Chains A and B, each alone.
Chain A
Amino acid sequence: DAKTTQPPSMDCAEGRAANLPCNHSTISGNEYVYWYRQIHSQGPQYIIHGLKNNETNEMASLIITEDRKSSTLILPHATLRDTAVYYCIVRPMKTSYDKVIFGPGTSLSVIP
């Protein structure tokens, strides 16, 4: 599976948009970009995934560059409850979680 690179930490003011970048320059054609988050001492929570088109759901938007080498997760109006570690991973749709590596992620702090 392709490796991802994320900044270790970010701050965001409450109510503003949080833009979390991820580099995945070795992504292959059949790999999707997934985003999860983990609030302290809880299990990872699925946020969104995409292949090459931008995606939006009730939680966030995912912007994938045309060459698919990087992506950005956007939380449009960050709240204090969005403070968590955000993981960007790439994997083929059919890969089971035993083969997925969750890296250190980005620790997002939403500041009042």
Chain B
Amino acid sequence: KAGVTQTPRYLIKTRGQQVTLSCSPISGHRSVSWYQQTPGQGLQFLFEYFSETQRNKGNFPGRFSGRQFSNSRSEMNVSTLELGDSALYLCASSQNRLGDRNTEAFFGQGTRLTVV
């Protein structure tokens, strides 16, 4: 069974640009959640999508948005990039919603975004 796949693995963008990251969950998983990981802040939750609807949102500005398609694949978009957006962006998939009994999330390898 294939794991969580994130593309691209590495990305370099300039300030002010926008970027779209993609996440394909494990087959049969309906929840996709997104995280930002930086050395200073650790792993921070961005949002969770389940059945094409955003269910949960972390404390990030509106420049960070996402969506989920009917096949559960998800995309995350960051507009008007800032230098501080440089980070490893991780997505995780789970069969049910985060927090449901016995639901474990499986992480992808991440997309390393560098903003210059």
Contacts and interface: CB of A to CB of B under 8 A. Distances in A.
Contact of A97 (B4, B88, B102, B105): B105
Interface stretch (A11-19, A20-28, A36-44, A57-65): A36-44
B42 A97 contact: no
Q: Give chain A's interface secondary structure class.
A: loop
Interface in A35-74: 41-46
B43 interface: yes
A35 to B, nearest CB: 13
A1 B10 CA distance: 33
Contacts of A45: 107
Contacts of A97: 33, 35, 45, 92, 98, 105
Residue among A41, A93, A95, A96 with the highest chain B CB neighbour number at 10 A = A96
A102 B56 contact: no
Interface residues of A, number: 16
Interface string A74-112: 000000000000000000011111100111100000000
A96 B56 contact: yes
Residue among A46, A98, A102, A104 with the highest chain B CB neighbour number at 10 A = A98
A93 B100 CA distance: 8
Contacts of B106: 46
Interface of A: 41-46, 93-98, 101-104
